Structures are given as structure tokens and as C-alpha cells.
Structure 1
Amino acid sequence: MITNYKIETFKRPSDEWVKLLNKFDDANIYQTTEFAENSNYGKNIEHFVISKDNKILGIALVRIFILPILKRGTAYIRWGPLWKLKDSAINLDNLTLVLTALWNEYVTKRKLHLNIFPNIFKEKDNNLIPVLTGIGFNLKEYDNPYQTIYLDLSPSLKELKKNFRKKWRYELNKSCKNELTITRGKDAKYFDEFLKLYKEMHQTKQFVEHINVESFKKMQQSLPDSLKMDVFLAYHEDEPIAALVGTNIGEIGIYLLGASARKGRELGASYQLQWYMLSWLKESGCKYYDLGGIDPEGAPGVTRFKAGLGGTILTSYGEFGAVTNTMSKGLVLLGEKLKSK
């Protein structure tokens, strides 16, 4: 039974929220204030904290979209709620309490549609589905569900390298002979170098952009130092030729963005960048490396490259929705249309 829970709203990034994030193994960049502020629904953010007997059990950063006049809408949580406390055994009762509290606050009390996109996958998280559906959440089916590749970082670096696919390992070894210099940093000059490479690559390849890289730059500027993204740069003869952007918040490191110039592609710089990223994540204590999504049909080359590291392909369950009546559901659909404009 829930003894008490509280909601606090921080107007700007707060040291208190950073401290709370640091309590959870499943903390991630998508649950930071700065990511939310640079995303849809970014103007109305709430930081949800649930505790029992004065002990924090879970938290969630909630983005809220309210339809004008009607005062109905949706509450959205991406890669949350967070409930896996550090140095604690996995406790599904905690997850049940957190999800129930969220339902009570946003669905029952405020009459909002609650939409949750948890970071869970069909291949490894089947035990969590009865918890969600038991409370009343319904799974939203997608024709093309999100997929990614996870790499278990528990083996030694030697074993990890041995597990690379033969061609990938060959390309890495070949690249290491090209006298590249790899650096890592968090400050603005690193991100500016990445953006230059990204824009050059986009101009050359003319691919469809699914993310706004400029929003990541704004996010980087406002993130506290402990949560800032790390940018890896590959240089050849003092010239930046490739870059990788990643994060190591929580137990799962994430590959977020990448770019390379023609020279970088010729010298295989991306292979070295991935190796440095993987090594850094393992050294910093991450248990897994999420290679940031794959699209086997739309981007087969990128998918093959990521698969070369020898990880496991995972398929996301997707989003879970909670709505109590058809009127609210209709308002939510209208709100989604308005949001997309």
C-alpha cells in the first residue's frame, strides 16, 4: 500500500533532480530536465517522486500537453519511470507502486491520458508486462517497432574484441594502423566539431533526418557537467574526420549521434571511435552498451555496422497507454495531431 507520494516541479535544472537520478541504475538522458525542455511537450514538465516510509522508491520526468479550453490532454514519460535503485535487488513491488501512483495522479485525479514508453524489450523483459497490464495499461502495437542492439559489457575487453564479427574486427585492426588520434570532451568546441562533420556528411549523403541535432547542442549547453554527453573526435594529421556522441548515465551507455567526413570513412575512423566508446563505458561502470537503434530495411548498412560488434538485437515493446474513457481518448488523438504541426 502506498503510504505517501509527492510531486515537485523544478522550473530549471535542479541539483536535487540530479541527485535523484544518481540513485537509480535505470537513469538515462531521456529522463533529464534538459532533454525534455528541448523536446515536444517541453514547456510543461513535472518531476514525479514517490516515497514510502520516507524512502524514495521511484521517480519520473513527466511531460504534459493540455488542450486549450478543454483542459484535457496527455502526460508522457519516455524511458521511465525509474525504479531500479542502485545497490538494491530488483523489486517488482516497487515498480507496481510507482506505476499505480502515476495512474492515480494523472489518470484518476487529473483525467489525463498517461502514455509511457519504458525502456523494455521483448527478448528480456517479459516479466514486466503483467505488472503494466495488471494496473490497466494497454500496449500500443506498431507496424515497425523500435529495435536496437545491446552489448553486454561484463566480459573483458579482450573477450569483447574477440566476439566482434570477423570482418568488423579486421576493419578495426586496419584502422588502428592509420595513425589516428582519438580525443574525448564535453565542452562546446567538441560539439561544434561534431556538428561540422554531421552537416558535411548530410550534405554529401542527403539522408532523411529523424532527429534535430541542433536540439542536442542546446541540451548539451544546459546539462549539468555530471550529465553532459561525451563527444569522441577522431583526428588525422590534426584534422577532425569523424565524431561520436554518447552518454553514460546509469548502467546503460548509449550511442546517440555519429558523423564522419569522407576521409574518416576511408580510414575507418568509426571503428576506432566505437572501440574507444565501448572501452570508456566499461571503465566508467556501465553494464551494457545500447548502440542507439537500428533499421534493417531503411538503413541496412548502419545496421550491419552496429551488428558487427556482436551484440544482441532487441525489439521494444513500445508505448503503454492508460485512458479511462473514449472522450479522453479522442482528445488525446486530437492533441497528438495538434502537437505534430
Structure 2
Amino acid sequence: MADMTAKMMTNNLADPVTVDPFELVMISPQQWDQKAHLFDNICQEQMNVFAAERWPQMNIDCLHFKLGDQLVAGCLMMHRSAPLGLGGLAVCKWGPVILDAAAENAELIHDQVIEMLVQKYAVSSRMMLSILPRPRPAESNFAAEQLLARNFKPGSGLPYPNRYFVNVHVDDDEMRASFGQKWRSHLKKSEKNGLEFEHCDMSRLPVFYELYRAMTDRKQFPDYSAFDSLHHLMDNIEDSARPELFLVHHEGEPVAGGIIFTAGDTAVYLYGATNDQALPLRAGYFMHWEIMRWLARQDRIKWYDLGGTDGFLGLHQFKNGMVGKAGVVSTVPKVMNYAHWMLPRLLGNGLFLVRDVKAQVMRWIKSRKSAGPNA
């Protein structure tokens, strides 16, 4: 109750033009995950249970920023020091997170948190500070602009940076009218196929896993996701932030499924799966429509983040039609890097260069394998 009261008071914490200095409090990973759902722009990348499994070589700091006894922001930082005092690397993915993203001074709060991270990691700990701002359903990304203003340098970006956001903060009729014409047509046809939609508990996860394995075996596409860590996430995440599972059935058999992160004000499409029957039944259209209707009934959720496309044209057409007139196609910002000292800058840039070259080589190898022996 105290945390929720603090959230309601965020708009009154300070004059909207300024904010008072914050107190930085380091908490345990368990405490962080327990309170993560309080932040409006929390996402899976800022959950310790997700980050610790996916990046086991990194140390993790869980930071709360308070004004008096009121929590206003937070950040999960991953870091690793180089030997011989040569510096190190501190990474923030899709953070910091703000308790009340709609507060008048939310952007100023975010900017002050960035300044405190710079002092803690780049100046005092002599690390390169690397921040990947969260993509946002807007033409400009204020977080990326703040980092540029603080002399962060743009680093590497995604080869296909488009991000697709559906506006679910509207009623069903308005949302449906927003879809592209072809998308609406496919949806109408799917609704005549006797499909059934199910919002499931976690006991149905094995059904989803089977659908996903069947899909990857069938399509033989390169999978760049963190699917291998999903089992750990679902088994260990706090109930307050646990992703939701949805399935679509036809004649009693599961044909499609989706796992959606719903803890903040923007739901994120984490994983989807279909079997051979799903395409002719247009089950994907039906499933996403019903998921959007479910999200629209959640008071806190305003946007449905569909993720990217990895360059697949068909996926772009599908997601773009779903975004429609009321949604937004934005871009994932580039990684933004700052080093106060020379050695951390050289070390950090070298590490990122090696990582980027390795990623390009792995993508090339996987694309050749998926193209077959005659490619």
C-alpha cells in the first residue's frame, strides 16, 4: 500500500520543471523483482530473473531511486570489471524505469537518474556506461535524446530496427477500425473458422512448448530470441510480473499460442507459436485480436509492443496491418555509450566491435543453414 501511495504522489514530488536530488539505494535481486511491477515502463529486460539467466557472466546491481521515503525510479544494471584496473563495462537494457511514466516531471526524473548512473559507473567505477533506451510508441525517443545531450555516443544498432506498437487504449470498435483493410479481411475470415480462445494458467505451458518446437522444426528459421531461457523465467518470476499465456484451439486441438509480458503500461509480445493448421485457419489473426481485446480491458495497459521482424517481409506486412492507423511504427534506438576515462573507452569500444563482428558472422551462418544446400 505504501508503494502504491508513493506512485499516486509522484506528480506532486516536486515542481514539474525541477526535481530534488534522489537517494540511490541498492537492493537485493529478490526485492527488485518483487517490486518491479510497480514501475510503469518495466519490461522483461529489466527483470533480474530474466537478465541473470540470459547474461550469467555479468554482475547485476538493482537500484532504487528515492525522494525522501518515496520510490520514484529504478534501474537494473549489468556490469563486469576488466582485470588490472583497466576499467570495465556497465550495461543498462531498456532502462531506467520510472514509477509513474505519466507524471509531469517523468522525463526530468529519468534525466537525473542518468546523471547518477554516469557518476556511479562511468566516473567513480571507471567503466564504459552503455545504455540501450527502450523503444517507445512515438516519433522521437526522449531517452535517446537525453543521452545524446549528455555526450553519449551512438553505438551499434539492430539491422532491422522497426518496432510495432498497437494502441489498445481504445474500445473494440475503434481498435478494429484502425486495422489495415487486408488485416481486417483476414480477421473476419478467421472468425468463421470455429476457433476458440483461451487465457491459460501455467499448467498449460507444455502445450505452448510443443507448438513452438513444431513451428521451429517446420520453418527452420534462425531463432535469435531468448527462448531457451523462457522455462527459467516462467518458473521463477514473481506472480505480480508473470507473463500471460494464451492459446487458440480448433476442434479441441491447440493450433496457436502466445506469451505476453503485461506488468507495465506496455504489454510485450515475447513469443508466439503455431502449427500446420494455423495458417489456413488464419489463427494468428484471431489470436492477436483476442489478446488485444484482453489487454484493452486492463486499466494500466495502453500499448501492445509486437516486437520487430528480423527482416521478414511477411512479418512486416502482418504487424504493420495490425498497428493500423491508431498505432505507431517506431525504431529501436542505437546503443548509447559514455566513458569518462580513456582506458574504459578503448576497452569498451573493442569489446563492442568483437561482439558485433561475431553477431554478423553468426547471422550469416544461420541464414545460410536456413536457406538450404542450394543457397
TM-score (norm 1): 0.89
Give ranges in structure 1 of 5+ residues lacking alignment.
Answer: none
Q: For 1:263 and 1:130, locate their aligned partners in 2 and report how far apart those are by CA, in whole Å.
A: 45
- The answer to whether the 8 A contact 1:2-1:97 is kept is no
- The answer to whether the 8 A contact 2:79-2:90 is kept is yes
Offset, 1:69: 4.6
- The answer to whether the 8 A contact 1:84-1:90 is kept is no
Q: For 2:225 and 2:134, locate their aligned partners in 1 and report how far apart those are by CA, in whole Å.
A: 19
Query: 2:319 corresponds to which residue?
Result: 306
Query: 1:284 corresponds to which residue?
Result: 298
Q: Which moved more, 1:153-162 or 1:1-10?
A: 1-10
Offset, 1:90: 4.1
CA RMSD of aligned residues (A): 2.4
CA 1:219–1:24 in 2, change beyond 3 Å: closer, same or farther?
Answer: same
CA 1:267–1:153 in 2, change beyond 3 Å: closer, same or farther?
Answer: same
| Higher helix fraction (1 or 2) | 2
Code of the residue aligned with 1:22 in structure 2: it is H
Give ranges in structure 2 of 5+ residues lacking alignment.
Answer: 1-18, 360-375
How many residue pairs are counted as aligned between the two chains? Answer: 335
Q: For 2:79 and 2:234, locate their aligned partners in 1 and report how far apart those are by CA, in whole Å.
A: 23
SS at match of 2:264: coil
CA 1:258–1:165 in 2, change beyond 3 Å: closer, same or farther?
Answer: same
After superposition, residues 161-240 of structure 1 pair within 5 angstroms as: 161-187=176-202, 189-240=203-254
After superposition, residues 1-341 of structure 1 pair within 5 angstroms as: 3-10=21-28, 12-14=29-31, 17-19=33-35, 21-41=36-56, 43-70=58-85, 72-83=87-98, 85=100, 88-121=103-136, 123-140=138-155, 142=157, 144=159, 146-187=161-202, 189-285=203-299, 286-295=301-310, 298-309=311-322, 310=324, 311-336=327-352, 337=354
Code of the residue aligned with 1:197 in structure 2: it is L
Q: Which moved more, 1:136-145 or 1:324-333?
A: 136-145
Code of the residue aligned with 2:26 in structure 1: it is E
- Aligned-pair identity in percent equals 24
Code of the residue aligned with 1:307 in structure 2: it is N
SS at match of 1:49: strand
Query: 2:3 corresponds to which residue?
Result: none
CA 1:313–1:206 in 2, change beyond 3 Å: closer, same or farther?
Answer: same
TM-score (norm 2): 0.82
Q: For 1:143 and 1:210, locate their aligned partners in 2 and report how far apart those are by CA, in whole Å.
A: 12
Q: Which moved more, 1:72-81 or 1:144-153?
A: 144-153
| Deviation per residue, 1:4-34 (Å, 9 max, x gap) | 5224241x533x5432x33322122211111
Code of the residue aligned with 2:243 in structure 1: it is M
Q: For 2:158 and 2:212, locate their aligned partners in 1 and report how far apart those are by CA, in whole Å.
A: 30
Offset, 1:226: 1.5
